[in-house]
Structure 1
C-alpha cells in the first residue's frame, strides 16, 4: 500500500522519516547548546560567541536558493543520506579536535559552517519530500508530529543533555551528534525510492532553459506570486532578524543578567521547548477555533512581549515563563505556515519555493545574529539588542496587522 492510498494512516515511510528527524534533531539540539558553551569556555567576547551562532545560520543566507534548485533536480532521498553522512564526519572531526585540545574559535566556526551547508540541503529536500510520503489531507497531522518531535528532541531533551554532556567532557556532545547523523542516514535509506521531481516547464516558470539561475528565479516567482506566501515570508524575515539579534549572545545574557550556570542555561532553554510541545499539539485545534489570521496576529504580539520581558527581568523564572509562551506561538505559526506552503506549491517547484522561504526565515536569522553580536559589543550591554528587537517587531506588527486578514486561504 502506498502512503497516499489511505487517508487514515500516515504510513511506514513517514514513520521512518519521522524517526530520522527525531534522532538528528536530538543531536542538533545537543550541539546547539554545547557550541556556545565551548566558545564561551575559550573567550568572553560577545562577537566570538555570536560568530559561532552565526556560522550554521549563514549558509541559509548564502546557499538556500541553490539548495532548493538541487532538491528539485535530484533524488531527494539520496541527497539527504549523503548530506547526513557528511555532517556526521565533520562533527566527528570536531569532537576529535576538542578531545585533543586543539579546537579554536575559527575551527569551531568552520565545522558549524560546513554542517550548516549540509542542513540547507537536507532540510530543503526533506520538506519537499514529505508531501510525497503522506496524503495532502494529512499534512497538518504529519507536520504537527514532526514539529512535536523537533521540540522534544531538539529543544527539550537536548538542552539539559547537551549542557550535562559538555560538563562531563567537552567532546561528548559533538560525538553524539555525529552518531545521530549516521543513524538518520540509515533510516532515510530504508525509505522506498521515489522518482526525481519532474523538470519544471521551460517557458512558463523559467524552467531549465537558462540553467540553475533560471530555476532559482522560477522558485522566487513561485513564492512571490502567491500573496499569502509573500506576506508570510516578509514577516518571518523581519521576525528572525529581530529575534536572533537579541539572542545572538544569549548564553552571556543568561550568565551575566540571570546568574545561571551552564546547566541552568540549558534548563532555561527547555522552557521554550515545553511551550513548543504544547503548541505543536494544539496547533490544528487552535486553527479550527480561532482561525489563522487571529493566531498570526497574536504571535506578533507575543514576539514583542518576549523581548520586553527579557530586557527588564532579572528573574530566571520570569524569563522561562516568557520563553514558554513564545514557544507555543512558534510551533503554532510553524505548523500552519509550512502546511499551507506544502499544499499551495506544486511538487516540481516545492524544493525551490521552500528554499526561498528558508532564505527569508533562516537567512533573516543569520543577519540578526550578526547584528546582535555587533550591537552587544558596541554598546557593551547584552540588553540593547532586546530593546531594538522589541521596537522592530512592534513596527512590523503595525504594518502587517491588516494584511494578515488575507492569510486564511
Structure 2
C-alpha cells in the first residue's frame, strides 16, 4: 500500500483530522472544568458529541452514495475548520456561560459534519485498495485512532494547562485545514447503480415515487441492510455489543476503585496499558493483517471481548489488567474486521448508506448503554457480578454470531462456504 498514492493521501488526511479531533475531544472536558463547568455540564458535552452521529449517520451515508466522496470529505473538513474559527472568535470575546454554550454548540456541529466525513472515508477505502488489502487498510486507519486515544490526554492536558483553551481549538482547526489541502484535486466517480436484485427489492417496498430523493435513498439503504442477512446479523451483533460496552467502562472504573483498591493514578495507568495494547494490535494488523475469514475474525473478536470483560470481574489486579488488555486488543480487531467485512459484502453503490446506518445504530446502542450504566450502578451493589454477566453476554453474542455467519446451509441443503472467506461475496449468493 506504500506505493498506492491515492490511498496514502486519503489515509494522511484522515490521520491528520483524527489526531486533531481526538486531542480536541479530550480537551473539551478539561476546558469546561477550567472555565467553571460542573459535572452535569461535562456529561451534557459528552452527549452533544454522541447524539449527532445517531441522527446524521444515516443522512451522511446517503450523501456518500449520491456524490463524489472526496468532494464530500473536502467540504466536511473546510466546514469543520469554519466552525472552529467561529468558536475561537467567541472564546476570545465572551464570558463563562457563553463559552460553555459555545463548547456544546461546537460539539454538536462538529459531530454532525463528522457523520458525513466518516461515511465517505469508510466508502472510499474499497475503491482505493485491492480486496486483499482491505483489512490492512482499515487497520492503518484504526492505528491512527488508537495512537490518538493514547497520546491525546497528554497533549490535551498540556495545551489546556500550559497555554490556553484557544490552543486546543486552534490545533484542531489547523488539522482540518491541512486535511482539506491534502485531498485537493482528488475525485471519485459516483458508485454504479445498485445491483438489480437489491434495487428491485427496495423498489417493491418503497412508497415514494421520487427515487432521487434523500428519503428514498435512505429507505433503499435500510431495506438493503435488513434484507442482506450477513450485514443485518453484523449490525445486530455490533449494536448489542455496544449496548453492553457502553455501560462497561463506568462499571469497570467503579469496580477497580472500590473492590480492587486502585487509586485514580492507578486507574489511569490501567487504561494507559490497555491503550498501549490497542496501539500494538492496530500496528501489527496494519503490517500483516489476514486478508481472509473476515467473519470468523470478527465473531471471534466479539467472543474474546466478552471473555476479557468477564476476567475483569475478579478482585486480583493482575487478572483485571490482563482482562482489560484482552478487551482493548479484541476491540481493535473487531473494529477492523467488521468494517472490512461490510466493505467486502456490500453493494458498492449502497456502501455509504450501509456504513452510515451501521454507525448510527451502533452509536445508539453505546449511548443507551452509557445511560444504563448510571441506573445499574444505583440499583446493583455487586458490580463485579455485573461485569461477569456483561462479559458472558458478549461472549455468547460472539458465539451466536459465528453460528449465524459461518458455514450456513446453502439453498440446496449443502454447507455453504464461510462468509468472508475470500474477502468478497458475490451478489449472486443468496443473502436473505
Q: Mark yes or no: TM-score above 0.5.
A: yes
Q: Which residue is 2:224 aligned to?
A: 222
Structure 1 length-normalised TM: 0.81
Q: What is the aligned counterpart of 1:122 among 107, 117, 120?
A: 117
Q: Which residue is 1:205 aligned to?
A: 202
Q: Which residue is 1:401 aligned to?
A: 399
Rg comparison, structure with higher value: 2
Q: What is the aligned counterpart of 2:128 among 124, 127, 133?
A: 133
In the TM superposition, residue 123 of structure 1 has moved relative to its aligned partner by 0.3
Q: Which residue is 1:27 aligned to?
A: 20
Question: Alpha-carbon deviations, 1:364-388, whole Å to 9, x = none?
Answer: 2233334445666x6699x96x865
Q: What is the aligned counterpart of 2:43 among 50, 63, 74?
A: 50
Distance in 2 between the 1:370 and 1:89 partners? 32
Distance in 2 between the 1:310 and 1:395 partners? 13
SS in 2 for 1:63: helix
TM alignment of 1:329-344, pairs within 5 A: 329-344=330-345
Unaligned runs of 5+ in 1: 1-7
Unaligned runs of 5+ in 2: 407-417, 420-432
Question: Alpha-carbon deviations, 1:219-264, whole Å to 9, x = none?
Answer: 1232233333222211211222222234469999999985437xx8
Question: Alpha-carbon deviations, 1:104-125, whole Å to 9, x = none?
Answer: 5443222111111011100001
In the TM superposition, residue 174 of structure 1 has moved relative to its aligned partner by 2.1
Q: What is the aligned counterpart of 1:159 among 145, 148, 153?
A: 153
In the alignment, structure 1 residue 352 sits paired with structure 2 residue 353: yes
In the TM superposition, residue 72 of structure 1 has moved relative to its aligned partner by 0.7
Q: Structure 1 pair 155/400, CA: closer, same or farther in 2 (3 Å)?
A: closer
Q: Structure 1 pair 276/399, CA: closer, same or farther in 2 (3 Å)?
A: closer
Q: Structure 1 pair 290/176, CA: closer, same or farther in 2 (3 Å)?
A: same
Of residues 155-164 and 66-75 in structure 1, the stretch that sits farther from structure 2 once superposed is 155-164
Question: Alpha-carbon deviations, 1:65-95, whole Å to 9, x = none?
Answer: 1111111111211111111111122233334
Question: Alpha-carbon deviations, 1:287-329, whole Å to 9, x = none?
Answer: 589985366335434346437637967x7x9876554332211
Distance in 2 between the 1:177 and 1:255 partners? 33
TM alignment of 1:34-113, pairs within 5 A: 34-41=27-34, 42-45=36-39, 47-98=40-91, 101-102=95-96, 103-113=98-108
SS in 2 for 1:56: helix
- The CA RMSD over aligned residues, in Å, is 3.6
Of residues 102-111 and 265-274 in structure 1, the stretch that sits farther from structure 2 once superposed is 265-274
Distance in 1 between the 2:30 and 2:253 partners? 8
In the alignment, structure 1 residue 241 sits paired with structure 2 residue 239: no
| Higher normalized contact order (CA 8 Å, seq sep 6+, divided by chain length) | 1
Q: Structure 1 pair 35/65, CA: closer, same or farther in 2 (3 Å)?
A: same
SS in 1 for 2:22: helix
Distance in 1 between the 2:386 and 2:31 partners? 28
SS in 2 for 1:196: coil
Aligned pair count reads: 392
In the alignment, structure 1 residue 187 sits paired with structure 2 residue 182: yes
